[in-house]
Every structure is written in structure tokens, then in C-alpha cells.
Amino acid sequence: MILIAGGTGRLGTAIREDLEPGQVRVLTRNRVTAEMIREGGSEAVVGDIADPKAVSRAVEGCRAVVLAASGFGPMGRSTPAGVDRDGNIALLHAARTAGVEHVVLVSMHGAAPDARLPLLRMKWAAEEALRASGAGWTIVRPTAFLETYLDAVGADLRRNGSTLVFGTGTVPVNFVSVDDVAGLVGEALRNPRLLGETVEWGGEDLTLEQLSAALRSATGVTGPTKRIPLPALRITALVARPFSPFLARVASAAVIMNTTDMTFDAAPHRARYPGLPHTTLPQAAARWADIHQGTVAR
């Protein structure tokens, strides 16, 4: 049995779809979601990553655990410190106690103790705990998720036919599809060669303007592009903290994206693991358009 923490999110769902349903167990806080997962042939444990009893139930009898949960998003009171660091470490300790053979941690490219983005510092702390745990381990470090940013750029496209760009839109950033990351996680679970490996994983260097253009091409919508200037992002990152930590995190990440070199040469890393999915921007944009068909303003 393989436990996926974060198995109901975008990446976790892609990982589940890459595995046999009968092999998978998911830890989720949502009872309705848990029932849907069970109907699909997988197991589900209802509970929070911060609940030791739920975590112990979840890891029982598992040969492998995938740590794919993140506290960066808008879900409740979740935070990177509470999920990406503390939650992952708690799950790791439970996995060791239960005799789990292999733990796959989905970290992030750029994880470091002194990273500008707090999320990357929390990921680094989880990495360090995993390396020191004595468990068999693999660390996957993807770049920014392409689908997440297509959603952000296309949010207004669905409402009023315009795209949304954070900052100048001309700074190149490496983006990778969640399907490509899920493929690598599946490979790590199947291939002993990845034990003890930290694998950097990316896709293409692209700008937000290119993402905007790809969505327009895929949907046929030609409305205006709205931009949030860098000074406004800096202000939002500060003033939003008391009432919307998630908005503050998003604005801070956008500032860093506009002021840091986030390019990455993925080719040498992908060459080590041939045959895994490699999703292009046009493919991801076409899939986005299919998913949102009927909701995009015309």
C-alpha cells in the first residue's frame, strides 16, 4: 500500500492516476472526498496531517509514503510551516515507526535554508529531516507548476475575457506540468535506482506573457491583458498579511518571480530518466481550455 498525503490536490490526484487504485491510500480531511476516493477503488483515511492518531492510522501497513501536501494554498488555516515542514516531519516520524520502507518527498526547486520564499525554507527543513531519518528516501524538486499559473493567468479569462499578469510578464520562469512531476514520483516508487536521490525536475523556461498568449490561442478569446505592477505586489505582500496570509504569500511569490532568476536547464536531469511525460505549454493550455469549456467569456 502507498499512502499519498496531499492526495486530493492537483499533484496528488495526478499521482493517484499514475498508480493502480488498489495500491493507494489517501489521507484527507474531507469525508465526502474520502468516500469518492473509496468509490474509485482506493483507500482513504479521514484526518488532518497535524493529528498524530490520524497519521498513525494512515501509515499503518504501507510500504511507501508520498509527501505531496502543501500549506501554501488558501485552504483553511494551513501554512507552509504547519504543513510543508511540521506536517511532513510528523508523517515521516510516523512512517518510520510503522516500518515504511520508502518515503518520497515532493519538495521544490530552490529549497534552501536561506531561500527568500518561506515555503522553500520549510521544504528544506523537511528534506533535512528525511535525509536524517534512516528511511529509504527520494526527494523530488519540481519547478513552478504550469497548471497553477495557467489558472492564475486565466482566472479573469473565465469571467470577462481578459488574462491577468503579475508584474512585467516578461521575466522567464521554469514551469513544469504536474503530470510530469507525477510521472517522476511514480518512477521513484517503482525504480530502486532513485533511492537516496534528490532529483531536480523542470520543463520549459516561459514568461507569463507566453502563458497568456497560449491560453488565448487555446480558447480563441482576444480580450485585454490586465497587469498588477511590481510596486502593487510589494505593497500587497505587506498589507495583506493580517487579513489574508494566502494573498500575502501569493504576492510575495510574485515579487520573487519578477526579481529572481528562476530559469532552469531541465534537459540533463530529464536525460537521466527517459520515457517520462514531458508536457508542453500548448498541450497544457489546450487541456486547460477543455476543462474550462463553457466557462470562458466569449
Residue-wise pLDDT tens digits, 225-281 = 999 999 999 999 999 888 888 899 999 999 999 999 999 999 999 999 999 999 999
How confident is the model over 147-191, as pLDDT tens digits? Answer: 999 999 998 886 788 999 999 999 999 999 999 999 999 999 999
Q: What is the structure's pLDDT at 24?
A: 94
Q: What is the structure's pLDDT at 4?
A: 95
**Residue 72 belongs to a domain with what CATH number?**
3.40.50.720
Could you list the residue range(s) of the whole structural domain that residue 258 is in?
144-175+204-263+279-298
Task: Decide if 53 is inside a domain.
Answer: yes
Q: Are 41 and 103 in contact (CB under 8 A)?
A: no
- How far apart, in whole angstroms, are the C-alpha atoms of residue 222 and residue 90? 48
Q: Which of 150, 99, 123, 138 is nearest to 283 (CA)?
A: 150
Q: What is the structure's pLDDT at 294?
A: 61
- Clarify whether residues 87 and 165 are in a common domain: no
Taking the alpha carbons at both ends of the chain, their separation in whole angstroms is: 46
Q: Is residue 90 predicted with pLDDT exceeding 80?
A: yes
- How far apart, in whole angstroms, are the C-alpha atoms of residue 70 and residue 107? 9
How confident is the model over 111-155, as pLDDT tens digits? Answer: 999 999 999 999 999 999 999 998 999 999 999 999 999 999 998
- Clarify whether residues 119 and 47 are in a common domain: yes
- Clarify whether residues 219 and 256 are in a common domain: yes
What would the grid cell of residue 111 be?
529549497
The whole-model pTM stands at 0.93
Q: What is the structure's pLDDT at 76?
A: 61
Q: What is the structure's pLDDT at 219?
A: 92
- Clarify whether residues 114 and 258 are in a common domain: no
How confident is the model over 6-59, as pLDDT tens digits? Answer: 888 899 999 999 888 889 999 988 899 999 999 999 999 998 888 888 899 999
- How far apart, in whole angstroms, are the C-alpha atoms of residue 266 and residue 277? 13
- Clarify whether residues 124 and 226 are in a common domain: no
Strands ordered across the beta sheet of 64-67: 43-46, 24-28, 2-5, 64-67, 102-106, 136-142, 197-201
- How far apart, in whole angstroms, are the C-alpha atoms of residue 14 and residue 75? 19
Domain total in the chain: 2
Average pLDDT, the chain: 92
Three-state DSSP at 140 gives strand
Paired strand residues for 106: 140
DSSP state of 207: -
222 half-sphere exposure, CB direction, 13 A CA radius: 1
